[in-house]
Amino acid sequence: MVRDPQKEAKDADDGEKNQVFVMSGFPLGVQLKDQYFLHNHLKFKLEYHRPEDADDSGVSLYRVVGFEIEPSSLKQFVRDGGDSAVCQSEGASLEPLDLDKAETITYTYDVEWTENPDKEWVTRWDIYLQMSPGSGQIHWFSIINSVLIALFLSGMVAMILIRTLARDIAKYNEL
């Protein structure tokens, strides 16, 4: 999902060092032991703040400065009419949705708006500096490949220019 064109982020645990990092996107489900659980409920957490210059215009303006998605697997139950299913509410004891037992899957979402006056518009992208450790690696092969191609093409252009200039100088000297 993309919003303003900031991508969504999700806090994730690396499972080893108890470090939390941010990953782009969110998993569609999770496997625990021999069971698979589908994330059928999404909680959109949006942070906003009121810019200081908004008071001058007289219009209530707010800026979204953060966007996070928290996926979860919630057990469903069928309403009395039997025509629709809903997920558990937060007040109930939350049980994960078991894919082996689910005939139909209902997808739901919540939206949570949080005012954050401390987070400024220009710093809203800083969370993406905390992306997963593997995404920050330097791709040396691509860098070296690009440099070699640039050098090769520059050499070709230089050769063409030198030949052309040498020919022109030779013709000029013959006159």
pLDDT at 85 over 70: no
What's the pLDDT at 72? Answer: 83
Is the Cβ–Cβ distance between 67 and 49 less than 8 Å? no
| Average pLDDT estimate for 80-102 | 58
Query: What three-state secondary structure class fits 60?
Result: coil
> Pick the residue with more confidence: 63 or 17?
63
What's the pLDDT at 112? Answer: 92
| Average pLDDT estimate for 155-175 | 95
The tens digit of pLDDT for each residue in 32-82 reads: 787 777 888 888 888 888 887 766 666 778 888 888 888 888 776 655 555
Query: What three-state secondary structure class fits 36?
Result: strand
What's the pLDDT at 93? Answer: 43
pLDDT at 10 over 80: no
What's the pLDDT at 2? Answer: 46
The tens digit of pLDDT for each residue in 99-140 reads: 666 667 778 888 999 998 888 777 777 766 666 555 556 778
> Pick the residue with more confidence: 88 or 75?
75
Chain center to CA of 93? 30
**Single pTM value for the model:** 0.56
Cα angle: 69, vertex 70, 75; to 5 degrees: 135
What's the pLDDT at 111? Answer: 92
| Average pLDDT estimate for 24-32 | 77
Q: Residue 91 to residues 84, 87, 88, 95: CA-CA distances in angstroms?
A: 20, 12, 8, 12
| 1 confidence band (pLDDT: 50, 70, 90) | very low
